[in-house]
Amino acid sequence: DKADIGVTGLATMGRNLARNFAHHGHVVAVHNRTQNRTTAFMDQHRDEGAFLAAGSVEEFVASLRRPRKAIIMVKAGAPTDAVIEELAAHMEPGDMIIDGGNALYADTRRREAALRERGLHFVGAGISGGEEGALNGPSIMPGGAPEAYETLGPLLEDVAAKVDGTPCCVHVGPDGAGHFVKMVHNGIEYSDMQLIVESYDLLRQALGLSPQELADVFREWNRGDLESYLIEITTEVLGHTDAATGRPFVDVVVDQAEQKGTGRWTVQSALDLGVPVTGIAEAVFARALSGHPDQRTAARSLAGPQEKGAADGADLVEDVRRALYASKIVAYAQGFDQIAAASAEYGWSIDPGAMATIWRGGCIIRARFLDRIREAYEARPTLPTLLVDPTFAAALADAQVSWRRVVATAATIGVPTPGFSSALAYYDALRRDRLPAALLQGLRDYFGAHTYRRVDREGAFHTDWSGDRVERPA
Ligand code: NBP
């Protein structure tokens, strides 16, 4: 008998994804470069469903029912290219290679084009939710040709997370669209986490609350607008006590954040697209700053403010909650702008409401909040920015006094809140009728004859700054 689907690469993610397919009654072919891993997988999991273990790539491909569907779950980059080559060599036109790793969308575009030439389908599928998601239902963001999704989609939707009966999986768009959206998802995850850690830091510094007390604050917040997986696990981590020392766990962890690169990719792409994703960028840079211990040690001698704490405890907690929510709205608005810009650039026709829908479950940024975003795009698919959706606009209006107080308090007592501050700056800049960009255009024209446009007439103009200072059409 043949397998419905195959998984090659049986490390953390591949192993759990293969089991997930089997738990849903599919016959799953499994393969791994190093055969020990396949053997170990069969020893541990053979009773969980119908698996066909393959010792070679050739055997693996031969065990798949046509059109063949092989999911690659190996390290992104060169290993993925190597595995694609091996699989493609044994495949026939109409067969599908699905890359479930964290590939860069540009690589996915290149691979899709190359395999299309050879009559094969290549589906770059973003898979979120980590180890647990892969096993029990991830959020899946598949790109590639719509024809490929017709046969593959039902299988993916079957194993994806479900929210209110709706699978957290939808065809995102052609070629690299799925991996692009997964990348932005990770970028948003960076900004979500940055806002959470700023909230923790400010409340701890300003009010002297203990990690335990702060765990209670986050637990309370998780009952309202902020309800989300990340807030929930913040409660867990803050409430955890180190067994070896009896101290709060958060106080024994080295305060240097690491990153695997998807946040950085998001910002690099945003720079190319000209989309201000300040929330994600600040989050990436905050991690980078934390990872420079020499500079940090040297800078400890720099002057700080006289004021160290804030007065009104209960008020500040509520202010920070509101600032967190408002900043989160801004960060998501920026991420959705980036998706829209890429969709226009590459002709992907991505439905933003559908992205919010499939992020409601199975992934790290899953939250009640995403339902609001789905509703916003449902009410107005061509929303110019999420900020002007009536529900979000009202929430921002409601939060703004608190938000401003939080940024002011943080600045006064010297606690860095780049996420809150940049989100507020973005909000204030976007709603301005006139921006100082006008002066900037003047400066550019002065030193570089870069020209400017006028508010009262069509066309480009240049003033002869070093000569008669007369304006002429450029
Ligand atoms: P890893 O990213 O740690 O990769 C290990 C797997 O890659 C092993 O099966 C290994 O085979 C295989 N491999 C390598 Br390395 N080089 C190979 C090559 N040249 N040819 C064939 N196989 C090769 O696994 P993972 O953590 O399960 O992640 C898989 C993918 O999913 C990655 O792209 C990752 O970014 C993505 N992802 C991971 C998570 C997560 O939470 N871990 C979440 C979401 C997405 P071997 O056994 O022979 O060494």
Closest CA to 161 of 338, 365, 325: 365
Ligand 1 neighbourhood includes 77 CB (under 6 angstroms): no
Q: Is the dihedral of CA 208, 214, 216, 220 positive or negative?
A: positive
Question: What's the confidence (pLDDT) of residue 394?
Answer: 98
pTM of the model: 0.96
**Cβ distance 19 to 45 under 8 Å?**
yes
Q: Given the CA of residue 260, which atom of ligand 1 is nearest to it?
A: 35
d(CA 192, CA 185): 10
Smallest CA separation from ligand 1 atom 2, residue: 75
Spatial separation of the C-alpha atoms in residues 55 and 39, rounded to whole Å: 9
Q: Beginning with the edge strand found earlier in the chain, give each strand of the sheet holding 460-463 in spatial order.
A: 452-453, 460-463, 471-473
Task: State whether the beta carbon of 162 lies less than 6 angstroms from ligand 1.
Answer: no
CA distance 3 to 26: 8
- What is the helix (H) or strand (E) element at residue 51, kind and residue range? strand 51-53
Ligand 1 mean position, distance from CA 227 (Å) = 32
How many whole angstroms separate alpha carbon 291 and alpha carbon 314?
33
Residue 20: enclosing H or E segment and its boundaries?
Answer: helix 12-23
Amino acid identity at 441: Q
Encoded tokens for 21: 């397919």
DSSP state of 356: H
Residues 65, 4: contact at Cβ < 8 Å? yes
Please state the separation of Cα 423 from the chain's center in Å.
Answer: 17
Q: Which residue minimizes the CA distance to atom 41 of ligand 1?
A: 130
pLDDT reported for residue 337: 98
Instruction: Give me the count of residues in the chain.
Output: 474
Give the DSSP letter string of 173-232: -STTHHHHHHHHHHHHHHHHHHHHHHHHHHHHHHH---HHHHHHHHHHHTTTTT-BHHHH
**Active-site entry in 182, 198, 282, 328:** 182
Q: Could you give the angle at the alpha carbon of 123 between the alpha carbons of 119 and 126, nearest 5°?
A: 170
User: What local confidence, expressed as pLDDT, does residue 308 receive?
Assistant: 79
Backbone angles phi, psi at 283, to 5 degrees: -65, -45
Q: How far is the CA of 17 from the centre of ligand 1 (A)?
A: 12
Query: ipTM above 0.95?
Result: yes
Whole-number Å distance between alpha carbons of 247 and 386: 42
Dihedral of the alpha carbons of 181, 187, 191, 196, in degrees to the nearest 10? 90
- Expressed in percent and rounded to 5, the helix, strand and coil fractions of the chain are 55, 10, 30
State if residue 102 touches ligand 1 by the CB under 6 angstroms criterion: yes
Nearest CA to ligand 1 atom 49: 34
Told to judge if 182 belongs to the known catalytic residues of this protein, a careful annotator would answer yes
Dihedral angle sign, alpha carbons of residues 9, 10, 16, 21: positive
CB 84 within 8 A of CB 98: no
Query: Quick count: other Cβ atoms within 10 Å of Cβ 457?
Result: 8
Residue type, 146: P
**98 DSSP β-pair partners:** 71, 123
**Is any atom of ligand 1 closer than 6 Å to the C-beta of 247?**
no
Q: What is the pLDDT of residue 408?
A: 96
Q: Is the separation of the CB atoms in 34 and 40 below 8 Å?
A: no
Look up 189 and say whether it is catalytic: yes
Q: Ligand 1 mean position to 13 CA, how many Å?
A: 7
pLDDT per residue, tens digit, the chain (474 aa), is 899 999 999 999 999 999 999 999 999 999 999 999 999 999 999 999 999 999 999 999 999 999 999 999 999 999 999 999 999 999 999 999 999 999 999 999 999 999 999 999 999 999 999 999 999 999 999 999 999 999 999 999 999 999 999 999 999 999 999 999 999 999 999 999 999 999 999 999 999 999 999 999 999 999 999 999 999 999 999 999 999 999 999 999 999 999 999 999 999 999 999 999 999 999 999 999 999 999 999 999 999 999 877 777 779 999 999 999 999 999 999 999 999 999 999 999 999 999 999 999 999 999 989 999 999 999 999 999 999 999 999 999 999 999 999 999 999 999 999 999 999 999 999 999 999 999 999 999 999 999 999 999 999 999 999 999 999 999
**CA distance linking residue 437 with residue 445, whole number of Å:** 12
